[in-house]
Each structure stands twice: as C-alpha cells, then as structure tokens.
Structure 1
Amino acid sequence: MPWESRHLQFADLARQLGLEDVDRGSLPWMVAHHMLELPLPPEWSEELDFSGQPYYFHSLTGDTSCSHPLLGMFKSIIAEVAAWPQEPRLEEAAALAGRHLQRAHGFAFQELLRWSGPHSIEAGRRPDRAAADHRDVYFCNLATGECSRENPHAMLDFELRQRRSLLSRCLAAFPPSKSEGASQGSTDAEEGSEREMSPAIRVFAPDSKPHLVLPPRGLSGCLSQASQRAYGDESCKSQASFYSATSAEEDPERPSLASGEPGAFVTAC
C-alpha cells in the first residue's frame, strides 16, 4: 500500500500546483494524484493546526511549513510533463523522462558539492547519548555560510527517487507500441518482450534499480581546504555553538513549542 496523505486534500494540492484550470484528463492532472501517495521526506511529518488545517513539521530542525516539503519538486514534474508533445509514443515519453532525470541528477550532484559535514556538535552533548547520534551533527554550506542539521545528501537522494517514481507512473499511462507489446500471453513471449524493451523504457521498469542516485558517502571529502578557508568558517562555528547551547538547555528528543513542535501555533497559510 502506498503512503497517502492523512489530511491534505487533492483540491488543496492542485491549488498549490496551479492546476485549477488544467484539463481533468491531462497528464499533469493524473500525475498530481499520485503525488499524494508519495512518502514524506526524512524527518518530516504531517500535522494539524488548531483550526484543523494540515501543516508539515521537521522533527530535527523544528521547522514548520504550510506547503508540502516536496512542492518545488512537484512543480518541476508538472512543468516537465506539461511540456511533452500531445499523445507522445511510449518510447518518446521515456526518453524525455530520462533526460529530465539526468538534469535533476546533475543539479543535485552540484548542490551536494557545496556542503561539508557531518560535523559533530561537541559542547552540550548529554553523556548518555552516543556521539554518532544524527541529532548531534550539522552540515555547512560553504557557498552561503549556512549551517543545517538536515542531511543534504538524504534529502537530495530522496527527491531523486521520488522523481523517478512519479515519472514511472506517468509512463504507465502510455500504451506500449506494437513492437513493445506484440508478444503477450506466454512465458516465452514475455521474455521476448523483455529483451525488446528499450534502455530508455527499462530505466523506469518496476523491477529495475534506480540508476540516478547520489553516492552514499560523507560530504566533507568533496571540499578542499582552500574552499573551507574561502567561506565563513566562523559563521558555521557560531551557529554550531547555538545548536550546542540549545541541546544543552532543552530535551534534545523533543523540540520546544517555540521551535514549532507539533501542536504549537502555526501561522495561518
């Protein structure tokens, strides 16, 4: 069973995506329905505010959002499939989807190169917590000086996988061409059809392994000493000190209400 949003209604998501005037039978409309079935990114949960409206909470950073955490990715998928030719062949649609994935992978890889970490937050750690606890590390963006407790690799990798999932569901709406679907009804015929499947389509086959994922490795190895000196190390250190002080003053397992704990007041969307 796919995960489904507990509270977000499709009409609300369609409004966020700007689909109010889109043809109900169109590909963008169809793929938008599948977006509600996708799991939320790591550390994100769906909550309700005091008025009964859904919002999203990040358990590690305490951030809250009225918009779906994957809204930016959803919009790029909608824009992609909306630009496809009318009634493209399956092979053509698969090639377009593959190129979109390649571009998204290149962007994600370049974004990952901007980050260093994980860096340990030493001060303020409770003695009964392991040093490897993911809540005791942070990551630093050397291009902006921003520090974050959210693992950029985990989020980028997650988004790439969800892109592939959505595009796979788009392609499932296209009937196979004669050469792709000619052999049906027997084991030998199915094996023959499998052999004839083009590489562009095979990337999106349900039993294929994702080809476009980021390598699960540490981020700090991507960055040179010169890069670390060029961008604000002191900014990162000061933010790390803030995280340390925060973890020393609060129960680290539960963000405070002030930081957006589920049940806290959320500004109206």
Structure 2
Amino acid sequence: MSEEFLEFIGSKFDDPFVVSITLETQNNEEIKVLDINVNKIAEMFNATQYDSGNLISVSPDIVFDKGDVWMTGWQTTEIDIKDYRNQNVILKFSVEDAVDTIYTTAVLIDNVKFDVEDLYNGQRIEVDSLVFNEDYIRGIWFNDAKGSSYVLYCPDDFSSQAEFVRKQTKFFNGYKNIEQVKFHAIKTTKEFEEVWNNMEGHPDTGVIDDVILLFHSDYHAIFIDSSNRQYLTVSPGGFAGRGKTIYEAYHIRNLQKKKIKRIELLTCNKD
C-alpha cells in the first residue's frame, strides 16, 4: 500500500520493494530475487494517474501522513533459490522511499514458508518459518538417521501442541525421519515410567537428543492426570500439592538414569 498512488504513477517517486539474499560465501554479495516498485505495480493493476484500475482505495480507514492510500490486496509470490543450495544465506525484505520521504509506502508480509528438498528421496517438504532456530538457519541438513528424541504428553489438553513440537524437534535436530521423534500419550505414572525406562539414545553414544514433556504442573510436580491423582514429583517427601491438598506421588528418582542433551517441560499451571 502506498501514498504514491495515484498522483505519482509514472514519476521518479517510484518506491521499491525488494527481496534479496546475501551469500556469506560470496563476500556478502547481495542478490535481488524479487524487485518491484510503484510503477510496475501500477502497470500490473492497470492503474494510471487518472484511473485507479484494479487498485483498492483504503482511505480514510487507513492513513499515513500526506496523500490517499491505495493498495493491491494480498499477493502470493514463490521464489526459487535452489541455485544457492548448500550455502548460508540471509533473506531480507526491504521497502524504501525513492527520492524523498514525503509520501509513504508500506508492505505487509504474512505466511512466509519454505519448501526444502529432502536430499535422500527427492520430495519437497514444507517448513513453517516458526520452527527455524539459529542452528537451522546456519545450515542443518536432514541427514541424521540415528539420533532420537521423545515427546511425552497429556492427550486431553496438549495433543495439538505435541504434534507441532514433534515436527519442530525433527527439524531442530536435522533428523531424516519423523519416526526418530518418538511420540507417547501418557495417562498414568506407570505409563510414564515404562516409556521413560525404555527410551533409547543414539546407537553409538546412547545419548538422547531431546525429551519434551507437555503436561500441567506446579512448582514441585507434573500432573499426569490430576483427576485420577497421577503425579510425578521432585518433593523430598514424595508428595504433590500444597496446603491441605496433598497427594502421594511417584518420585522422579525412581526413574532410570538417562543421558539426555536437553529436557524441556512445556506447561501451564493447573491452578
């Protein structure tokens, strides 16, 4: 959306929107993969200084500081950057004022996704940008076929979150297959104990990459199923709860010792 429409169509006040990638292996060379501006957009939407064509007027509901604001509506663009595979790149979106800063142009960006090609089976995989962390951005490939992680969760309240965390864990660790992230719905402390004690790590090192737990909890206990008084606790006395509401609980010291790189509890307090 821009204030340059309509009166400055065809002029030098041609604000650009650019998507570029910077190659860390090419002395920070910046390559434009999308380069569009006010005049190109006006041509695409059959707009002139005297005819709005297919542009949409959003004033007075949306105002910047000077002129009327016109927009295109949501546009979808797909950019192929496979020529830069196996390289570390920085993706940048930028919109600028051309010549002066009197009239404003803005771009709204949403639903950015990445398709990556699994180098082992040639299939394309859609990756939500939310699952990217710094390590992945630096270039982790899906070539780990031996690592393992575990997601244990309460099926009543955390099923959808657990599904997302499972996919996230696969990408974070660069696993080749989603099956490397073992997925267990837990209803009792006995089930938790059995799954925990049977967890297996990397066949060479015995190390488990991640264990992610999704349950309600308080300061001292994990609520496996509070309605049936199924609790794990770190309390020295082996109890869960506080005040007058105290229940006997399974103490985590009774679980087998495991080599785990990272263990994380994702929760919301039950009370």
Same fold (TM over 0.5): no
TM norm structure 1? 0.19
What TM-score do the two structures reach when normalised by structure 2?
Answer: 0.19
Greater RCO (Cα-Cα under 8 Å, separation 6 or more): 1
Structure showing greater radius of gyration is 2
**Larger strand proportion, structure 1 or 2?**
2
